[in-house]
Structure 1
Amino acid sequence: MDFTPTEEQEAARELAARIFTDLATHERLRAAGTGTDAELWKALCAAGLPGAVEETGLLGLVLLLEEQGRVTAQVPFAASCVYGVLGVARHGTDEQRARLLPGLRDGTTVVTGAFPAPRAVSSRDGRLSGTVDWVPWLRDATHVLVPDDSHALWLVRTEDAARVDPVELTAPWSAGRLVLDGTAGERLGTADAYADVLTAARIAFAGLQAGVCAGSLARAVAYTSVREQFGRPLSTHQAVQLRAADAHMDTEAIRVTAYEAAWRFDEALDATGAAVTAAWWASEAGKRVVHAGQHLHGGMGADLDHPVHRHFLWGRQLDAYLGCGTELLAELGDLLAEGAPS
């Protein structure tokens, strides 16, 4: 396997890094509060980055999401790319692709996903009923991809939902509670579409977590290099070095497992076990890294307005979204018993 980015992937990553760095500043994030940065979203779409995912694949998306995670940029980029662009491109009919992809590319259509759904939604004759307690970026979305209790996928317009109630999460993801009551849905894909989208989503959000952790660690390294204690920088103390080294190794483990899973997915190999592995590392190691990043800031880490606190909030939210570590290990164990590659 080769994780070296192609020229197209590297160009897209560099462009994303510039846009995120220029616009997702501490001051702009503070001004955005818990909402989405509409100007940043427009800039990303104007640069063609959501549409680029069709060409650069899931590994290309992981590279872009790392850049988003480094600065905790408040836009529905991950959700709309994995549930919308890739979901429709891979599983939509010719008519659905022609109708939906142009809006997904230019950002006028935003898709999120009610994943993973705990069998909360039932369908009958294309009508959906049930409640999903929280869906990330639902308040920004024009459509939501909803799996029913048989794991069929349905694309629902948010304006057709019985109710969308605002929900505030640990991280500022513009989430909402989705209530469906005989709501019309549009079928997307065949019976295997759910597993494919879930696999892609796990890999994509693991890539986002890799960026969140890298950003948290970078802030901790910068802080401990200039903050002095007993006449010398904190970074010269062995305990600080060991804590930072452990965080670095965890971050690299998240990154490499996400890269491997994305590579397998793009190469049309079985990526199910690799995706669960990446999700486990992102969940378990991710929370260790963002805790370390906050602790290495000492008293400053307790300041809710400090930039490192956003990384802590995002890391814990991604931990919750990707799933409980013991549940993921149990799922991975079942896959290994069935002979799936990990």
Structure 2
Amino acid sequence: MDFTPTEEQTAARELAARIFGDLSTHERLTAVGTGSDGELWKALCEVGLLAAVEDIGLLGLVLLLEEQGRTTAQVPFAASCVYGLLAVSAHGSAEQRERLLPGIADGSVVMTGALPDTAVRAGAPGELSGVAPVVPWLRDATHVLIADEEQKLWLVRTADARCEPVELTAPWSAGRLILDAVPAEQLGGAGAYDDVLATARTAFAGLQAGVCAGSVARAVAYTNTREQFGQPLAAKQGVQLRAADAHMDTEAIRVTAYEAAWRRDEGLDYAAHALTAAWWASEAGQRVVHAGQHLHGGMGADLEHPVHRHFLWGRQLDAYLGCGSELLQELGESIVHGEGEGEGDA
């Protein structure tokens, strides 16, 4: 395995870091509130970062999402890339790819996903009915990739459905999707659902790695400048140990996400690796963002402090697409049934 980024991946990551760092500031996030940052979204699309994902692969996307997570930038970047660009590229028909990919790449088509648990059923041919109770970034989306009860994937235009705002722990512009014989088009066939879900778990683990890295960085900066009894808090052994544990947890999330993403890009089986990355993102992620707040002392309890956003995002991500115990059970069942033992696993 070689997780060394290519020149293209490195260039894209550096560009993403600059844009997120310049535009996703504490002041701008405060002004945006719980909505999305339209100006930031426009900037990302104009420089071609969404379009680049088709070339730099899932590992490249994970690198970009780390940079988004560091700044908790409020844009549907992960959702539109995972449920849109990568899903349509991998499983769409030639006609679907030609029709949808250009709009996803330039940001005029914004995709999100309603996976894995929905109460949606396919009725008459090409029609869906039911409810997806919580869909992240639904208020920004033009299309939703949704799974029915048989785990078939369908594309639905939000303009054809009813969308009600829902507030989540993190400010993800979420909504409730209500379908009543809404027209839909199928995306992919057998195996598409499993691949998209594994891709999403890997990508959002990368996002969690960035959220955690940002939380740790803020805690380190704070404890190095905050003094107690004439010494910085960072000089205390207890603070050092807590920060070190948080750093190691963050690295575990990062490396497992890299491995899963690399394997997908190489055409290897990666389902078990995606579950592993998602488990670390859930279990370790909540430890890290709690530690980040704790290391800020009383400041960590301030809801207006920047570190609180990392806490909210970390807690949202620790249960998104499956909490730790659910993921561990799914991973155990896949091992029992001999799944995830494809070539290259020796």
Give the share of equivalent positions with the same residue, in percent: 75
TM-score, with length taken from structure 2: 0.97
Shifted more, 318-327 versus 262-271: the winner is 318-327
Q: Name the structure 2 match of 1:256.
A: 255
1:192 Cα deviation after fit: 1.2
Aligned 1:160-239 pairs, distance under 5 A: 160-161=160-161, 163-239=162-238
Q: Name the structure 2 match of 1:122.
A: 121
- Secondary structure class of the residue paired with 2:165: strand
Instruction: Provide the C-alpha distance between the structure 1 equivalents of 2:336 and 2:267, rounded to a whole number of angstroms.
Output: 22
Q: Name the structure 2 match of 1:92.
A: 92
Q: Name the structure 1 match of 2:311.
A: 312
Q: Is the 8 A contact 1:283 1:322 kept in 2?
A: no
Residues 181-229 of structure 1 show CA distances to partners (whole Å, capped at 9, x for unaligned) of 1111011111211011001000000000000000000000000000001
Q: Is the 8 A contact 1:128 1:185 kept in 2?
A: yes
1:16 Cα deviation after fit: 0.3
Residues 140-187 of structure 1 show CA distances to partners (whole Å, capped at 9, x for unaligned) of 0000001111111100000101x1000000000000001111111011
Residues 267-293 of structure 1 show CA distances to partners (whole Å, capped at 9, x for unaligned) of 111110000000000001000000000
- Secondary structure class of the residue paired with 1:320: coil
Q: Is the 8 A contact 1:270 1:340 kept in 2?
A: no
What is the aligned residue count? 340
- Secondary structure class of the residue paired with 2:101: helix
TM-score, with length taken from structure 1: 0.98
Instruction: Provide the C-alpha distance between the structure 2 equivalents of 1:104 and 1:329, rounded to a whole number of angstroms.
Output: 33
Q: Is the 8 A contact 1:156 1:185 kept in 2?
A: yes
Q: Is the 8 A contact 1:151 1:191 kept in 2?
A: no
- Secondary structure class of the residue paired with 2:131: strand
Counterpart amino acid of residue 132 in structure 1: A
1:339 Cα deviation after fit: 2.3
Q: Name the structure 2 match of 1:53.
A: 53
Q: Name the structure 2 match of 1:8.
A: 8
Q: Is the 8 A contact 1:62 1:207 kept in 2?
A: yes
- Secondary structure class of the residue paired with 1:138: coil
1:32 aligned onto 2:32:
yes
Instruction: Provide the C-alpha distance between the structure 2 equivalents of 1:61 and 1:208, rounded to a whole number of angstroms.
Output: 9
Counterpart amino acid of residue 156 in structure 1: V
- Secondary structure class of the residue paired with 1:179: strand
- Secondary structure class of the residue paired with 1:129: strand
Counterpart amino acid of residue 191 in structure 1: A
Superposition misfits of 4+ residues, deviation over 4 angstroms: none
1:336 Cα deviation after fit: 1.1
Instruction: Provide the C-alpha distance between the structure 1 equivalents of 2:257 and 2:174, rounded to a whole number of angstroms.
Output: 25
Counterpart amino acid of residue 23 in structure 2: L
Q: Name the structure 2 match of 1:20.
A: 20
Instruction: Provide the C-alpha distance between the structure 2 equivalents of 1:150 and 1:285, rounded to a whole number of angstroms.
Output: 32
1:340 Cα deviation after fit: 3.0
Counterpart amino acid of residue 47 in structure 1: V
1:116 Cα deviation after fit: 1.4
Instruction: Provide the C-alpha distance between the structure 1 equivalents of 2:133 and 2:76, rounded to a whole number of angstroms.
Output: 18
Residues 90-120 of structure 1 show CA distances to partners (whole Å, capped at 9, x for unaligned) of 11111111110111011000000001124x1
Q: Name the structure 2 match of 1:132.
A: 132
Structure 2 residues without counterparts, runs of 5 or longer:
342-346
- Secondary structure class of the residue paired with 1:299: helix
Q: Is the 8 A contact 1:139 1:175 kept in 2?
A: yes
Q: Is the 8 A contact 2:130 2:179 kept in 1?
A: yes
Residues 273-322 of structure 1 show CA distances to partners (whole Å, capped at 9, x for unaligned) of 00000000000100000000000000000110100000000000001213
Counterpart amino acid of residue 43 in structure 1: A
- Secondary structure class of the residue paired with 2:139: helix
Counterpart amino acid of residue 19 in structure 1: I
1:327 Cα deviation after fit: 1.1
Q: Is the 8 A contact 2:80 2:110 kept in 1?
A: yes
Instruction: Provide the C-alpha distance between the structure 2 equivalents of 1:327 and 1:75, rounded to a whole number of angstroms.
Output: 28
